[in-house]
A and B are shown apart, each in its own frame.
Chain A
Amino acid sequence: MLEGAELYFNADHGYLEGLVRGCKAGLLTQRDYSNLVQCETLEDLKIHLQTTDYGNFLANQTNPLTVSIIDTEMRKKLCREFEYFRNHSLEPLSTFFTYMTCSYMIDNVILLMNGALQKKSVKEILVKCHPLGRFTEMEAVNIAETPSDLFNAILVETPLAPFFQDCMSENTLDELNIEILRNKLYKSYIEAFYKFCKNHGDVTAEIMCPILEFEADRRAFIITLNSFGTELSKEDRETLYPTCGKLYPEGLRLLAQAEDFEQMKRVADHYGVYKPLFEAVGDGSGGKTLEDVFYEREVQMNVLAFNRQFHYGVFYAYTKLKEQEMRNVVWIAECISQRHRTKINSYIPIL
């Protein structure tokens, strides 16, 4: 892209940017949350959501409300918005959107493969798949027995194909291998996405690169955390880390050697960005989990993305914020339906 893309950004993407900013203004506010928290039943929750931008998205539900209905309907709504953006987008924004859907596609593929492994019916699992990551060949995933099978037969035409280059192996698909496959896919996906944003340059790179760097590092931390006490070797572990984050290369090498949470924390202490995050994590009984802390940081970065104009990051940020909002609503709804009100306030506020 040439310098000064601001000049013609609006010609191609101005409408969508305006739209997404409008949508962002419709995110639930702190007041909405404090109202939602007070709800006694899911019906109350619904009434409250009706006064927000969700409108009567639950109006056509004749069956009694459950959390999963709320969740699916919210997802559907997000999906409608996203499809609208995507259908009206021009290159390179449409490629950007494709990259955004890839992560959901990876999740769906892995979910289906796991399901196939546990001999569950496809229909049962399809319900759980994220609508943003749907693609036609998705349901055929379970006919594959090895990753190369999977690649050659099914995914070769999907946007996921390029990410498969690194993870072709003749291993059978057992649970561990699927998890490794997921992480490898994710690694190459994040790196590709990062490269795309970097090459795009401009404000998009300035906004998206830090977000993706954070995402990469978060994955590295989470992989490390989850691999404690599993049979995953340290060398294997290192190959799973996305290499586009701030941790690369020193931090990743150290992380690969880490053996427990304390050591991991020591690695994070070398980085000004992650040190406060790890310090915020509460110990065992109370306080926040590492995941929540990461979510909070993510929300923060995504909100800040809206401070700049003329870049694609707003779309990414909006989708992520909306996802967070959905997680929050689902959390609150769960707390309400299970009458577990003590923890109802531990949603992640979107400022």
Chain B
Amino acid sequence: MGSLFRSEEVVLVQLFLPTAAAYACVSQLGELGLVEFRDLNASVSAFQRRFVVDVRRCEELEKTFAFLQEEVRQAGLALPLPEGVLPAPLPRDLLRIQEETDRLAQELRDVRGNQQALRAQLHQLQLHSAVLGQGHGPPLAASHTDGPLERRPLLQSPGGPHQDLRVNFVAGAVEPHKAAALERLLWRACRGFLIASFREMQQQLEDPVTGEPATWMTFLISYWGEQIGRKIHKITDCFHCHVFPFVEQEEARRTALQQLQQQSLELQEVLGETERFLSQVLGRVQRLLPPWQVQIRKMKAVYLALNQCSVSTTHKCLIAEAWCATRDLPTLQQALQGSSSEAGVSAVVHRIPCRDMPPTLIRTNRFTASFQGIVDAYGVGRYQEVNPAPYTIITFPFLFAVMFGDVGHGLLMFLFALAMVLAENRPAVKTAQNEIWRTFFGGRYLLLLMGLFSVYTGFIYNECFSCATAVFPSGWSVAAMANQSGWSDAFLAQQPLLSLDPNVTGVFLGPYPFGIDPVWSLAVNHLSFLNSFKMKMSVILGVTHMTFGVVLGVFNHVHFGQWHRLLLETLPELVFLLGLFGYLVFLVAYKWLRVTAAGAASAPSILIHFINMFLFSSSPTNRPLFSGQEVVQPTLVVLALAMVPVLLLGTPLFLCREHRRCHSRRSPQPDKDTARLLDLPDTSLASQGSDEEKAGCPGDQAEAEFVLSEVFMHQAIHTIEFCLGCISNTASYLRLWALSLAHAQLSQVLWAMVLRAGLSLGGEMGVAAVVLVPVFAAFAVMTVAILLVMEGLSAFLHALRLHWVEFQNKFYSGTGYKLSPFTFAVEGE
């Protein structure tokens, strides 16, 4: 059987990796992505493992990489994606990479440090020149004209005695947000023995570290007295102000200013040189870093995998346990031999028996992936159980299409999906990051089939944007009816509705070749006709789908060798399902085939028959469908009900007997005891029995865990779920009818209210044409938004539910876990 039908055979293998070649082997395995390592050191904490030193070295390197990457990012450059095959580096290469990285990082740090120092210097110079440039003249003289100084008029003329005191100055610059606080603190701390003038700088300066532009405030403080001076200096220190020497003579200041400007020009030149060198270094980083990052990441992954291996007693080799698909075993062997040949000692693989359930591996291609995804979203299949995905490929789009049946909408969806499929290899489409787009893109083949099937069901329903198409001539003839019943012109004018009687010869010529006759779209009883058809169709599809699910269970039972379940579970289930609901399907089909228009007046009602079947009665007004119905119906009900106890008790009793037999074979016990065990399904006894068995054969864990009450409980739940489920699930399939009805009605509303309203405006040619443009736009937008996207999503959801709940609970347990091989491949590619 192909791998899609059930998960592949996966075995536990033990790998003996010679210490010298272990690294190469595991790195080769990572490239291939064949095996999933089991952690053999789960009890050992992370830092006590064997290769923790190497892991730590890789981490150190990654730290340096992070630094380099951050530098590159700060410089506004992007790292290119690495190209080509980059194997995990050999341990000796690691040293080289480490050295080079360190050198590069050191170089970068140096240059960056230089640049920063230069920048800071430049910043300082600029601030200094700004301070000098702004405070022209001693502030006392300027205070009469300067706005900010007028806040303290009292201090401007401190009086005669102080005139001869020497006025000192502190000039500097402070960050803008601190200026106000500084000013207040100065005022409070020095009690007004100073005059401070604050001004904004004219141009913004870049912060030397962050590069953010900011407008600094320059200040000039004049004060009297030494103590105040010390205080002022302390305060300016605490606000991290830049304080510059301030010469009183204007001439001296001017020359200083010129000097500063000269200096800053020189500095800028040097800075430019440094930045050129920096960009060179960054260019080297850009070139070298991406491949290293990939390599080191691989190396770290290899060491982490090696950390999961245990060491053999002789320390000559590492022992790893891994899950591997049987199909891949030769490849694995080859890979190991290839990579360990250098070391002289070959790595060995051998299978070991295992009690744990192996992981599930189902290989998919880009077509089946989305369908497998639908199944896996419910639950990853148990190892080797029947995989519903291949059937889902057809049933899912089909059930979707039953709800979404419309040729036009289906075609639009199909074309959209086709466009995605055709463009799937374009890099722009592949790398798109938009999450919604990725969702649609991931399901493109699903959409393709859904569109295709919608076109098909659309033809069956004969609807294209809610309008019927007349591909073939209609089977009904109005002319024949008019001729036969002699409708006069007056009669035709008076009657708003005319009925066509199929019993009149020539009116009904025969069924339409494919789908619903287009004449129905004109009829007022269109809806009731379609309802009857769609309801019956839903039940038929539902029962078929569920029966198929039960039948799939057979493959599970056969594969796992549980033959008893064939007889004790599948058979009763089938009888129950088919006896009750299969019979309903039969009634529907029978009535469709046997009851003709001629006998329509006295046609039997299936509903009444079906109800009577359960009540074991018959109503005289309801003609039987076929002879012998009175016998068949009660027989079926009795048969179906008789299956319930079989289903309920069959498996547990069988298991119990099996258990007892195996038990007595191992350790013969008095008959009396075992008989009682069977008669009284008592938990304590059962557990006692199992305890004894545990003592008798401790190896057989699975047998020992047999607890009768648990088996009973499980089977009871299963039985109740199945029997009630048959009824509720059948009813659940009626959603097919409901959603398809809703879709048809919505699209009809859109057609009748929007586009037809626009088309029937009439009037002059020009007006209609102009009006039709917005009307069509509205129609198109609403069709896509409401009918395609919204309705599509809702139909998708319901189809999903029908598969997950109604279909899969008949056979699928979904309790497995996926094989996640150790691989270097990046997720999502």
Contacts and interface: CB of A to CB of B under 8 A. Distances in A.
A63 to B, nearest CB: 12
Of B63, B184, B189, B231, the most chain A CB neighbours within 10 A belong to B189
Contacts of B47: 39, 44, 47-48
Nearest to A142: B234
B749 interface: no
Contacts of A157: 181, 184
Nearest to B187: A153
Interface SS, A side? helix
A44 B47 CA distance: 6
A17 to B, nearest CB: 30
Nearest to A139: B238
B66 interface: yes
B469 to A, nearest CB: 56
A152 B188 CA distance: 7
A60 B65 CA distance: 11
Contacts of B235: 140, 143
Contact of B231 (A59, A137, A143): A143
A333 to B, nearest CB: 15
Contacts of A152: 188
Given A48-B47, A122-B238, A153-B188, A59 B181 contact: no
Interface string A177-218: 000000000000000000000000000000000000000000
Given A140-B185, A156-B188, A51 B46 contact: yes
Interface residues of A, number: 24
Given A153-B188, A154-B189, A136 B46 contact: no
B239 interface: yes
B45 A136 contact: no
Given A59-B66, A153-B189, A157-B181, A140 B46 contact: no
Interface in B713-738: none
B266 interface: no
A47 B178 CA distance: 41
B234 A140 contact: yes
Contact of A38 (B45, B181, B189): B45
Interface string B35-52: 000000000011100000
A38 B45 CA distance: 10
B237 interface: yes
Nearest to A35: B45
A153 B46 contact: no
B781 to A, nearest CB: 37
A156 B187 CA distance: 13
B185 A137 contact: yes
A143 B189 contact: yes
Contacts of A153: 185, 188-189
Contacts of B67: 60
Interface string A265-304: 0000000000000000000000000000000000000000
Contacts of B178: 136
Nearest to A62: B63
Contacts of A48: 46-47
Interface residues of B, number: 19
Interface in B53-75: 56, 63, 66-67
Interface in A141-179: 142-143, 152-154, 156-157
B234 A143 contact: yes
Interface string B526-567: 000000000000000000000000000000000000000000
Interface string B224-238: 000000010011011
B31 to A, nearest CB: 28
A138 B47 CA distance: 43
A154 B237 contact: no
- Which of A43, A48, A122, A137 has its CB near the most chain B CB atoms (within 10 A)? A137
Contacts of A143: 189, 231, 234-235
Contacts of A59: 63, 66
Contacts of B45: 35, 38
Interface string A54-68: 000001101000000
A168 to B, nearest CB: 15
Nearest to B181: A136
B4 to A, nearest CB: 39
Interface in A29-61: 35, 38-39, 43-44, 47-48, 51, 59-60
Contacts of B238: 122, 137-140
B356 to A, nearest CB: 26
B802 to A, nearest CB: 38
B223 to A, nearest CB: 14
Interface string B434-459: 00000000000000000000000000
Contact of B237 (A47, A137, A139): A139
Interface in B166-204: 178, 181, 184-185, 188-189
Nearest to A138: B238
Contacts of A51: 46
A120 B803 CA distance: 77
Contacts of A39: 47
Contacts of B63: 59-60, 62
Contacts of A62: 63
Contacts of B46: 47-48, 51
A136 B177 CA distance: 11
A39 B235 CA distance: 46
Given A60-B63, A137-B238, A153-B185, 9 more contacts: A47-B46, A48-B46, A136-B178, A137-B185, A140-B238, A143-B231, A143-B235, A153-B188, A153-B189
Interface of A: 35, 38-39, 43-44, 47-48, 51, 59-60, 62, 122, 136-140, 142-143, 152-154, 156-157
10 contacts: A35-B45, A47-B46, A48-B47, A60-B63, A122-B238, A137-B238, A139-B237, A139-B238, A143-B231, A154-B189
Would you list the 7 A-B pairs with minimal beta carbon distance, nearest first? A139-B238, A153-B189, A140-B238, A153-B188, A44-B47, A143-B234, A47-B47
